[in-house]
Chain A
Amino acid sequence: MLEVSKLSVRYGESEVVHAIDLTAVKNETVAIMGRNGMGKTTLFKALIGILPTGGGSIRVDGVEVAQMESYLRVANGIAYVPQGRMIFPNLSVIENIETGLERAADKTIPDEIFSLFPVLHEMRHRKGGNLSGGQQQQLAIARALVTNPKILLLDEPTEGIQPSIIKDIANVLNEIRKLRDITIIVSEQVLSFTMAVADRIIVIDKGNFIHEDLRENVDTEQISRYLSV
Chain B
Amino acid sequence: MLLGYSFSDWGSILAMQGFAGLSLFSVLLLMALGLAIIFGQMGVINMAHGEFMTIGAYTIYVTSKLTEQYFPAFMPYYFVVAILAAFIIAFAVGYAVEFLLIRRLYKRPLDTLLATWGLSLIMQQVFRSIFGGREVSPTLPQWLMGSWSPTATIDIPINGLFVMALTIVVTTAVLLSLYKSRWGLKVRATTQNRSMAGAVGINTKKIDRITFAVGCGVAGIAGAAFTTIASTGPTSGSQYIVDTFLVVVFGGAASLLGTIASAFSIAQAQAILTFFMTNAMGKVATLLTIIVILMLRPEGLFTSKIRK
Contacts and interface: CB of A to CB of B under 8 A. Distances in A.
A82 interface: yes
Contacts of A70: 195, 198-199
From B186, B195, B254, name the one whose CB has the most chain A CB atoms within 10 angstroms: B195
A186 interface: no
A180 interface: no
20 contacts: A50-B198, A69-B203, A69-B205, A70-B195, A71-B199, A74-B198, A79-B200, A80-B199, A82-B196, A82-B199, A90-B188, A91-B188, A95-B185, A98-B185, A102-B186, A103-B201, A127-B304, A128-B306, A129-B308, A147-B201
A89 B200 contact: no
A90 B306 contact: yes
Contacts of A103: 201
A100 interface: yes
Interchain residue pairs A-B with the least CB separation, the first 5: A129-B306, A70-B198, A74-B201, A102-B201, A80-B199
B200 A74 contact: yes
Contacts of A69: 198, 203, 205
B134 interface: no
A88 B188 contact: yes
Given A74-B201, A99-B200, 5 more contacts: A71-B204, A80-B199, A86-B193, A86-B196, A143-B200
Contacts of A86: 193, 196
Interface string A72-86: 001100011010001
Interface string A29-53: 0000000000000000000111000
Interface residues of B, number: 23
Interface in A84-131: 86, 88-91, 95, 98-100, 102-103, 107, 127-130
A91 to B, nearest CB: 6
B189 interface: yes
A89 B201 CA distance: 18
Contacts, number: 80
A17 interface: no
Interface of B: 182, 185-186, 188-189, 192-193, 195-205, 254, 304, 306-308
A89 B189 CA distance: 9
Contact of A88 (B189, B205, B308): B189
B201 to A, nearest CB: 4
Contacts of A89: 192, 306
Contacts of B196: 82, 86, 88
Contacts of B202: 71, 99, 102
Interface residues of A, number: 30
A91 B189 contact: yes
A99 B190 CA distance: 10
A91 B192 contact: yes
- For B192, B196, B199, B204, the residue with the greatest tally of chain A CB atoms inside 10 Å of its CB is B199
B207 to A, nearest CB: 10
A144 interface: yes
Nearest to B207: A71
A50 B185 CA distance: 21
A131 to B, nearest CB: 9
Given A50-B199, A100-B200, A143-B200, A91 B306 contact: no
Contact of A129 (B186, B189, B307): B307
Contact of A144 (B192, B198, B200, B254): B200
A71 B195 CA distance: 10
B200 to A, nearest CB: 5
A109 to B, nearest CB: 13
Contacts of A90: 188, 192, 254, 304, 306
Contact of B306 (A75, A80, A127, A143): A127
A104 to B, nearest CB: 9
B184 to A, nearest CB: 10
